[in-house]
């Protein structure tokens, strides 16, 4: 579903109180009962039902009575809007722009800060792929999903799990980016995060896969390869394996201060693991083989 931030213009504080109440309720309920929503939202003059109808109309919620009561859950669109509202309230962004990238597990948008600076918003979307695929690349997924299985996880619970797993993915990415940036790794500047969205600086350049080999010299290609390989080795020396080091996660700027030397920036960190991970050697070899295959 395409993001439509224009709905933010017509929303009032009570709308967000209800969304936040449902978010809290989803921690324990696949479908949150309307009386619980009213209790958690604690609106001074009531009116929860009217707000629920409005949020349903804007597709920020889904409604289900198959559980024997009026149950609600936040949709992906609702989670997006709730998070964008938080980022705007904290003055981390002032406006959101165009989508500039889409991946298997994320969407990337431009945004503008109150000072006019352009930044990037990365929306984590783990629900696009299967449980089996995510399990291969997300250690924190296994325990959460297994817990759900042991309690008889429903389809609605799986939907809730995707939202909260996307939140964990964003938190992990932000933490890794902040740690790496603090010790001078070439990463975007980590600006902030909320729920499933990470805010970072806009990096000049293009993903490596967009670089046409015939337009760069052998020296430039060699420089890109060695920078990327050195990053993998440097990460390993710091006890980390990227686990997805390929042409899609390396941003290349071919003109730093007018010089032809390519500058490589590393992105995408939520799948990183420790070198103590039982599959660390295999994952490191996969990263280096991906680089060799591209070049």
Q: What are phi and psi of 207, to 5 degrees?
A: -60, 145
Q: pLDDT tier at 152 (50, 70, 90 boundaries)?
A: very low
Q: What residue ranges of the chain are covered by domains with CATH 1.10.510.10?
A: 204-294
Q: What is the pLDDT of residue 267?
A: 98
Q: What residue ranges of the chain are covered by domains with CATH 3.30.200.20?
A: 92-202
Q: Using CA atoms, how far apart are residues 257 and 31, in angstroms rounded to an integer?
A: 55
Produce one character per residue of 86-98: b if its CB has 16 or more CB atoms within 10 Å, e if not.
bbbeeebbeebee
Q: What is the pLDDT of residue 113?
A: 98
Q: Please confirm, yes or no, whether 244 is among the known catalytic residues.
A: yes
Q: Using CA atoms, how far apart are residues 169 and 2, in angstroms rounded to an integer?
A: 21
Alpha-carbon dihedral sign for residues 102, 103, 105, 106: negative
**Contact, 145 vs 161, CB < 8 A?**
yes
Q: What are phi and psi of 265, to 5 degrees?
A: -120, 135
Tens digit of pLDDT for each residue in 84-124? Answer: 999 999 999 999 999 999 988 999 999 999 999 999 999 99
**Contact, 276 vs 258, CB < 8 A?**
no
Considering the entire predicted model, what is its pTM? 0.89
For residue 13, the tally of other CB atoms under 10 A from its CB is 9
Q: What is the pLDDT of residue 183?
A: 97
Q: Position of tokens 């995408």?
A: 268
For residue 114, the tally of other CB atoms under 10 A from its CB is 11
**Contact, 76 vs 58, CB < 8 A?**
no
**Contact, 181 vs 190, CB < 8 A?**
yes
Q: What is the pLDDT of residue 129?
A: 62
For residue 184, the tally of other CB atoms under 10 A from its CB is 7
Average pLDDT taken over every residue of the chain? 89
Fold type of domain 204-294: Transferase(Phosphotransferase); domain 1 (1.10.510)
Selected catalytic residue, list 244, 253, 268, 287: 244
Q: What is the pLDDT of residue 147?
A: 47
Fold type of domain 92-202: Phosphorylase Kinase; domain 1 (3.30.200)
Per-residue CA distances from 56 to 10, 62, 128, 232 (Å): 14, 6, 22, 47
Tens digit of pLDDT for each residue in 207-219? Answer: 999 987 777 888 9
Is the pLDDT confidence value at 289 over 70?
yes
Domain 1-89 has CATH 1.10.10.10: yes
Q: What residue ranges of the chain are covered by domains with CATH 1.10.10.10?
A: 1-89
Q: What is the pLDDT of residue 134?
A: 54
Structural tokens at position 14: 């009570």
Per-residue CA distances from 152 to 34, 122, 156, 169 (Å): 23, 32, 11, 24
Comparing CA positions, the residue from 156, 134, 2 lying closest to residue 64 is 156
Higher pLDDT, 134 or 281: 281
Produce one character per residue of 35-56: b if its CB has 16 or more CB atoms within 10 Å, e if not.
ebbbebbeeeeeebeebbebbe
């Amino acid at each position: 579903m395409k993001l439509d931030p224009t709905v933010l213009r017509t929303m009032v504080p009570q709308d967000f109180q209800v969304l936040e109440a449902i978010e809290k309720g989803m921690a324990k309920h696949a479908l949150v009962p309307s009386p619980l929503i009213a209790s958690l939202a604690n609106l001074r003059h009531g009116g929860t039902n009217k707000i629920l109808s409005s949020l349903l109309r804007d597709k920020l919620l889904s409604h289900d009575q198959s559980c024997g009561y009026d149950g609600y859950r936040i949709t992906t669109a609702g989670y997006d809007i709730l998070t964008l509202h938080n980022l705007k309230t904290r003055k981390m962004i002032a406006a959101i722009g165009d989508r500039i990238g889409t991946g298997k597990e994320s969407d990337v948008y431009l945004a503008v800060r109150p000072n006019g600076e352009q930044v990037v918003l990365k929306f984590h979307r783990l629900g696009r792929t299967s449980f089996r695929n995510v399990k291969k690349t997300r250690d924190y997924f296994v325990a959460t999903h297994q817990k759900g299985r042991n309690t008889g996880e429903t389809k609605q619970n799986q939907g809730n799990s995707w939202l909260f797993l996307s939140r964990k993915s964003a938190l992990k990415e932000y933490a890794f980016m902040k740690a790496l940036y603090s010790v001078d790794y070439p990463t975007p500047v980590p600006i902030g995060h909320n729920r499933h969205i990470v805010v970072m600086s806009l990096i000049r350049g293009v993903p490596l896969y967009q670089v046409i080999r015939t337009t760069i010299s052998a020296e430039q290609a060699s420089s890109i390869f060695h920078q990327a390989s050195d990053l993998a080795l440097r990460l390993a020396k710091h006890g980390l394996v990227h686990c997805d080091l390929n042409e899609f996660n390396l941003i290349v700027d071919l003109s730093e201060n007018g010089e032809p030397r390519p500058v490589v920036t590393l992105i995408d960190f939520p799948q990183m693991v420790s070198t103590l991970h039982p599959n660390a050697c295999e994952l490191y070899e996969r990263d280096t083989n991906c680089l060799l295959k591209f070049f």
